[in-house]
Amino acid sequence: MDGFRGGQIGSVDGVDHQFLIFVPFVKQLMYLLREWHARSHEQVFSMNIYVGNLSYQVTSEELRQAFERFGQVTSANVVMDKLTGRSKGFGFVEMSDKASAEEAIKQLDGADLKGRTIRVNEARPRSESQSSFPPRRARHV
């Protein structure tokens, strides 16, 4: 006789309940694999660019426009001071095509943007020591 016997999960009405318990795990695993693949693929073909020595009047939209002539810009962001709301004089541009990004770096490094000679190079990942400044203190409960 099929069904539950002594607390064991078995087949009821032709449905294997052990399999049904396993399905959500497989779905989650497949979702994570798709996300990982999309991110790893994105990192291979896109490039994040650091732009320094920006005029304090440059907006994120103007920064985007300066790079769009070289290819598709995924994002452009002038970094703002949280307390004053003013530009910190640098920003980041992400381009979807690495070759276009390299050409933009080559052409724009040392170029004039709103009266300032900008510095342009591939952004480096933040190191552990730069990730949270000032260092956070551990909470004691």
One digit per residue, pLDDT tens: the chain, 141 residues?
Answer: 444 444 445 555 555 555 556 567 667 777 777 777 666 655 557 899 999 999 999 999 999 999 999 999 999 999 999 999 999 999 999 999 999 999 999 999 999 999 999 999 999 987 765 555 555 565 665
* pTM of the predicted model over 0.75: no
Token duo for residue 106 = 């080559």
Residues of the domain holding 51: 46-122
- Specify whether 38 is located in the same domain as 50: no
Asked if the structure places residue 78 within a domain, the reply is yes
Residue 112's contacts (CB-CB under 8 Å, 6 or more residues apart) are 118
Q: Indicate if 55 and 114 belong to the same structural domain.
A: yes
CATH assignment of the domain containing 67: 3.30.70.330
Are residues 57 and 99 located together in one domain of the fold? yes
Residue where the block lists tokens 């989650």? 28
Structural domains counted in the chain: 2
Say if 114 falls within a structural domain: yes
Tokens at residue 12, please? 């009821």
Together in a domain, 51 and 115: yes
β-strand partners of 73: 95
Residue 37 sits at the vertex; the CA angle it makes with 63 and 42, to the nearest 5 degrees, is 15
